[in-house]
Each structure stands twice: as structure tokens, then as C-alpha cells.
Amino acid sequence: MTSLIAVSQNNTIAAGERLTFSASYNMSGLLTELAQVNMETSEVRTSKSTLFRLKCTAATYSKWDSFFKIRDLYESYVSPKTLTPYLYNRDISEGGYEKFMKYKFNHKTHTVASVKRKKRSDGTTWEEKKNVSIGSSTKDLVTTLYHIRNLDIHKANIGDSQNFTVLFDNKESVVNIKYLSKETLNTVLGKKECYKLAISINNSDVLKGNNDNLLWLTADANKVPVYAKFKIAVGNGELKLKSASGLKH
């Protein structure tokens, strides 16, 4: 099996892109729309350089907040040219469970300075700081999602795959992306030919099943994620693109 073509330059993502998804979850056998997921890119200028901010948020619709309120933020600050991550934040609030993670990447020493904060049941917080050794190509979750869109899938054959090493909860995991087929889907962008990809995580209980976690990207220069199906320990669901603006091509 050959690898998909991993590209070192970002040719797909522009600043000002905004993607909005509806998230549905299987409740008692019915797919129910529960939340909205936004993916936004913006330009951030520092004293030394210009970075891209890749921001992902998830929030339950208000009518579901009393049932299980979700307010999640995942964001990464990356090089606009290579999408190399420098800073990553994860701030989640899910049904009363709160957790914050921060990574500062040092690519010269292949380390990440990690800060983890959690709220105890009594309302107080505890914090843990540590340095984590990483591989030369290890990225955070958000950066990886955008890197997948930079794969040269049009040069790949069905069955080709690519591994990404992702740092999550201070542990490295290998995420495998496999090119399954081309399919035409009716999307909010119109009828689109799409690349159908399978996603799996080695030695992890997060994603279940074989070829049960699927992602469809438009088979064009933007490779917009238009649809995804996932199967996790507590059930299955889907993401569907509702709107897209600021696309590069």
C-alpha cells in the first residue's frame, strides 16, 4: 500500500474561511440534530510574524442545553505557509465537565510545554505542567484536520493511506487516513464529486469500528469537508456542512 501525497506547503486554506456544520447524534435509534460546529481561519499578527488562527467551536443548540450543554473550543496558531503548529488551546465544557489544555510547540527541541487544568467536583481547579517529547512531525488535532485537506488526493490511488501523529491529552496517537473511493453527494455547495476517506486511530478506544468513521472532502482545490460519519464508544453520529464562505479557490 502506498502513501497519500502529503504536501509541505499549504495550498488549500485561506484566512477568512468559515465553515458551519450541524452535528447530529443517534438517540434511541433516531439521528437528532443537537449542536453546531464552526471552523474558522483568521490572520493574527505578532511582533515577529504573521500566523493563522485555526479555530473550531462546538455548541449545543439552546433547547438541548438543559439535557447536555456543550461549549467547546479547539484552536491552533500555525504557519500560514506550512500549517506548522506553534500554540494549541483546548477549552471544553461538556455537561458540567470542564478541562483546559495548552501546548506550546518547540520544533527545535521536539518538545511541547503542556498545561492541563481541570475542575474538581468541589469547584476548585488543579493544574499540571509538563514537558512532553514529540516526534518531528507530531501535530495537534486541529492542525491535523487542516493538513488532511492539503493531501494531494487527486494523485492517489484507491486504498492509499497516510499516517499523522497527533498529540492529544499529552499522548501521541497515530491517525490513519485511507482513501476509499470517489462519490457524488448533494451538498449545500451543490452536487459535488467528493473523496471518501476512512479515519482510524491506532491503539485507541476513541473511534470504533472499521471504516465506520468516514469523511467526504470535495474533489476540488478547496477539499471542503462536506459530510462526516463517526462511531464512538457511546454511539454514532454525523456532521453535515450547512454553509461555507471565504474559500481560497
What is the residue extent of each domain of the chain? 18-245
Is the Cα torsion angle 119, 122, 127, 132 positive or negative in sign? negative
Do residues 127 and 149 lie in contact, with contact meaning Cβ atoms separated by under 8 Å?
Answer: no
Question: Running along the chain, 249 residues long, what does each successive block of 10 average in pLDDT?
Answer: 73 97 89 96 95 98 94 98 97 93 97 94 90 97 96 94 94 94 98 96 67 92 96 84 98
Give the DSSP per-residue string, 13-68: --TT-EEEEEEEEEETTEEEEEEEEEEEEEEEE-SS-EEEEEEEEEEE-HHHHHHH
What's the confidence (pLDDT) of residue 1? 46
What's the confidence (pLDDT) of residue 44? 97
Please give the model's pTM, rounded to 2 decimal places. 0.94
Instruction: Compute the distance between CA of residue 22 and CA of residue 188 in angstroms, rounded to an integer.
Output: 12
Instruction: Compute the distance between CA of residue 35 and CA of residue 42 in angstroms, rounded to an integer.
Output: 23
What's the confidence (pLDDT) of residue 8? 78
What's the confidence (pLDDT) of residue 28? 78
Instruction: Compute the distance between CA of residue 12 and CA of residue 3 in angstroms, rounded to an integer.
Output: 19
Q: How far is CA 84 from the centre of its chain?
A: 15
